[in-house]
Structure 1
């Protein structure tokens, strides 16, 4: 009986040792595999960061974002978040403008090459474009006095684009203010809400301008020659469908209305039409296609 139990016990012990060795080997392989995956992921993260860094040119020049009618701090939140996550830019300052023209600032410009973003918020967000023009001037004056800036970029959505354009035409030649190097009008009604698409082709609009002019556009005819000739411009318009030549609010022909005017005054200007339901007016600054176009125009 003892002769039978001894080999059986020995076999059992050897079996346990074998299992333990196997488990240890599997654990080692698992740990090595996890370490390999972690190292690969780290390499991919570094490469992604390097790709983002390489894709944009970093500078200390601020880009000012101006919201539209009834806009708030949330208006450009998604776009700015995208640019920060992609390591393209960094929001460094938010400036709230009160109805009397006074300013409240949060954050500060660091002077580092981050492609800094300054978000402008109008407390009275339903005021007219003439007052907003003066408020934009106040912000630019503050930035000049505080940081001695030579140049900025301007991005304006809807009414913010109209007010920014009026600012450039009113104050674009003043040497005491920073020069606007690049301007983007995003879904901005440069010809009011007049839609000429039912009788005017896009080619004709781009060549000759709208054939029905709003008072705003007539103002811009006089103001455009006063925009700094060194400013480069991009007009982005939304088109919901093949039969709806608008973003649901601003007609395509209005968002692109000043293109021919700028060309006639020998400005460097381009345009883009964003199509589909994501081109709806309030979604234009939530649209990744638009995000990429704006980033490419500003920093690549």
Structure 2
């Protein structure tokens, strides 16, 4: 009887050990595949959400990157109403392409200079804490204004990591639907024929925007005749080109079409996920 039980437990232990070895092998294979497909970098990517939103709007994109092996680390940074930054999670020494989801407690702040200062607080605090030399930035909706006003108000700041890549999703650089300027025609170089006061402020970036940055501008077209994503006219999103083209290393636009191109669905769109992942980390 004891011999039978001993054999039974021995085979069970061997089965468990075998499964563990197989599991380790699969994990190693997945990491090896990811290393072939994606850049293996310590450069962080910061995600900024839109108006009235939170870091949860960024989770779909961040988790998509983790699923395919483009990153192995996702943490988040909270910005309270006074602009104080608190990081949640750890970026370990073996982190690959770490992602930092930014959360504004006051997500309805409409003073873009304040929003930009909060972005600066996050980026500079991350550099101080982890010593980052470079960074990527991703914005959805008003998150794009957080980024642009941060760069506008802190040009060439040594307190920030060097910007490498920027992804703008559904940016309203020259206003929203219902505002006359937002749908105005663009000249050959991408400048709106009529601009709002915020866009006029941002034109300073034509000379102060960081050099050598690769930019991907994604916008949605519902194809319902509005030439918009339901919230932002396409020409308002596309007006980014005029602001950055004099100094950017590259600038690429991509239009998402159909019902999934609706403004608040763009950050949960598999096509956007693929574009973003390949642009930021693809080899």
Sort the TM-score into its range (normalised by shorter chain).
Answer: 0.7 to 0.9
1:143 and 2:126 correspond: yes
* Aligned pair partner of 1:76 in 55, 58, 62: 58
TM-score norm. by structure 2 comes to 0.83
Higher Cα radius of gyration? 1
Question: Equivalent residues in 2 for 1:153-192 (5 A)?
Answer: 153-192=136-175
Structure 2 equivalent of residue 103 of structure 1: 85
Displacement of 1:199: 6.9
**Structure 1 unaligned regions, length at least 5:** 1-38
Displacement of 1:91: 3.7
Displacement of 1:262: 2.1
State how far apart, in whole Å, the 1-side matches of 2:57 and 2:242 are: 29
Structure 1 equivalent of residue 114 of structure 2: 131
State how far apart, in whole Å, the 1-side matches of 2:126 and 2:207 are: 25
Q: For the Cα contact (< 8 Å) 1:133–1:166, is it kept in 2?
A: yes
Structure 2 counterpart SS, 1:212: coil
More helix by share: 1
State how far apart, in whole Å, the 1-side matches of 2:184 and 2:113 are: 31
TM-score norm. by structure 1 comes to 0.79
Structure 2 counterpart SS, 1:273: strand
Q: For the Cα contact (< 8 Å) 2:183–2:235, is it kept in 1?
A: no
Displacement of 1:147: 1.1
Question: Equivalent residues in 2 for 1:268-283 (5 A)?
Answer: 268-283=250-265
**Structure 2 unaligned regions, length at least 5:** 1-21
Structure 2 equivalent of residue 61 of structure 1: 43
State how far apart, in whole Å, the 2-side matches of 1:223 and 1:53 are: 36
